[in-house]
Amino acid sequence: MQRDLEGTRMVITGANTGIGRVTAIELAKRGAAVTIASRSEEKTRPVIDEITRAGGRADFVALELADLASVRRCAEVLRGRDEPIDVLVDNAGLAGQRGLTAQGFELTFGVNHLGHFLLTTALLPLLERASERRAPARIVVVSSVGHYRAKPIDWDALRRTTATTTGLPEYQTSKLCNVLFAKELARRLGEGRVHTYALHPGVIASDVWRSVPWPIRPIMTRFMRSTDEGAETSLYCAASPECASHTGRYYDACREKEPSKLANDPALARELWSRSEAWIADFAIR
Question: What is the C-alpha to C-alpha distance for residues 125 and 123, in angstroms, rounded to an integer?
Answer: 6
Is 35:12 a contact under the CB 8 Å cutoff?
Answer: yes
148: annotated active-site residue:
no
- Could you tell me the end-to-end alpha-carbon distance of the chain, in angstroms, rounded to an integer? 49
Q: Using alpha carbons only, what angle is made at residue 167 by residues 205 and 268, rounded to the nearest 5 degrees?
A: 100
Q: Of 13, 10, 21, 22, which is closest to residue 62 (Cα–Cα)?
A: 13
Please enumerate in sequence order all residues whose Cβ is within 8 A of that of 124, keeping only pairs 6 or more positions apart, or say none: 194
Beta bridge partners, 57, equal 33
Count Cβ neighbours within 10 Å for each residue of 232-260 and write b for 16 or more, e otherwise.
bbbbbbbbeeebeebbbbbbbeeeeeebb
Is 24:36 a contact under the CB 8 Å cutoff?
Answer: yes
Question: What is the C-alpha to C-alpha distance for residues 157 and 244, in angstroms, rounded to an integer?
Answer: 37
Count Cβ neighbours within 10 Å for each residue of 23-40 and write b for 16 or more, e otherwise.
bbbbbbbbbbbbbbbbbe
Q: Of 118, 116, 125, 168, which is closest to residue 144 (Cα–Cα)?
A: 168
**Catalytic-role residue among 171, 236, 250, 251:** 171
Residue count of the chain: 286
Helix, strand, coil share (%) of the chain residues, nearest 5: 50, 15, 35
The residues assigned a catalytic role are 171
